[in-house]
Amino acid sequence: MATLKYLTKVTKAYLSFPIDDSCPFCHHTQAKVLGRKYLLVQLRKCDQCGLMFRFPKEQPEENLRFYQSDYKEGLTTDLPDELSLKDLLENKFHGSSKDFSEKINLVKSYISTGKLLDYGCSWGYGVWQFKQAGYDSIGFEISQPRADFGRKVLGVDIISRQDEINNLEQESFDIIFSSHVIEHLPDISDVFQLFRRLLKTGGILAISVPNCNGCDISTVLNKKKSFAFGEKHTIAYDFTFLSQTLENHQMSVRFLKEDSYEIQVIAQKL
């Protein structure tokens, strides 16, 4: 049912005029079609900046509506009942699908304390874990129901409006952490500039995204098509684009780890 609803939306996008076919990063309008899903949904690669992105695109207001209630992704979006939450907190999320202890230890190896922003924090489980680890952490989440839940049951600080995060003071954070978020954004023309503006000099950006390295090769794309692009994933990142973009925003890659599904990057603001 969800797929049918999405394909109906895609069909309407094709029928609209004019259709926006520009790159969601550099806004160049020439791109190569790398592959398709459901016949209608394409993965394209920008001829100018090399970003791989889903086509048709969606407007930010459509994206905002989708993430209020339609987006479903297990514990990321399912708000736990009182008993389940009690168990998660007693175990500090260890052993759950949202156990961030490995990622927290990685961040600690670079900066052991300080002010941290969890960008795209859902209902705040990461904000809470970073706070337990000694960081002065806050979150940003566009889903109002999940942000409200986190504030209420975890007692964490979550901002949920784009204008709020845009108006934060320059160099507000020692660390910006974002786990499997920026591949969901409808437009990324400003997000890396935002990260640079909010980070202190010497601060680190820790991001994790699905590993779409090689998706411009058909045999690789066929193996990764299930997670590379679709209704939820609008952007398919490879390390070439990430490293080049971070470098262009005066951030130096200090750590890279990848497996068949995920790329983890630590970059330091110069």
Q: Is the pLDDT of residue 53 over 70?
A: yes
- Evaluate whether residue 249 is within a structural domain: yes
Residue with tokens 């699908």: 97
Percent of the chain with pLDDT strictly greater than 70 = 97
The mean pLDDT value of the chain amounts to 93
CA distance 90 to 24: 42
- Evaluate whether residue 72 is within a structural domain: no
Going by pLDDT thresholds of 50, 70 and 90, the confidence category of residue 2 is low
Q: What is the pLDDT of residues 185-243, one digit of tens each?
A: 999 999 999 999 999 999 999 999 999 999 999 999 999 988 999 888 999 999 999 99
Q: What residue numbers bound the domain in which 220 lies?
A: 80-269
- Evaluate whether residue 251 is within a structural domain: yes
Residue with tokens 């592959």: 35
Report how many domains make up the chain: 1
Helices (H), 79-186: 82-90, 101-108, 125-132, 144-154, 162-166
Q: What's the pLDDT at 31? A: 98
Residue 235: half-sphere exposure toward Cβ, Cα within 13 Å = 23
Residue bearing the bigger pLDDT, 79 or 131: 131
Q: What's the pLDDT at 167? A: 95
Residue bearing the bigger pLDDT, 72 or 213: 213
What are the C-alpha distances in Å from 7 to residues 13, 22, 45, 56, 236? Answer: 10, 21, 21, 11, 19
The residues near 18 (Cβ < 8 Å, ≥ 6 apart) are none
pTM (predicted TM-score): 0.94
Q: Is the pLDDT of residue 75 over 70?
A: no
Q: What's the pLDDT at 12? A: 82
- Evaluate whether residue 41 is within a structural domain: no
- Evaluate whether residue 180 is within a structural domain: yes
Please report, for the domain that includes residue 237, its CATH number: 3.40.50.150
- Across the range 89-105, mean pLDDT stands at 94
CA distance 214 to 236: 10
Query: 175-214 burial string, b = 16+ CB within 10 Å, else e?
Result: bbbbbbbbbbbbbbeebbebbbbbbbeebbbbbbbbbbbe
Q: What's the pLDDT at 76? A: 64
- Evaluate whether residue 134 is within a structural domain: yes
Q: What's the pLDDT at 145? A: 92
Q: What's the pLDDT at 14? A: 85
Secondary structure (3-state) at 91: coil
CA 120 to chain centre: 6
Beta 115-119 vs 173-179: how paired, if at all? parallel
- Across the range 13-40, mean pLDDT stands at 92
- Evaluate whether residue 7 is within a structural domain: no
- Quote the tokens at residue 115: 């002010």
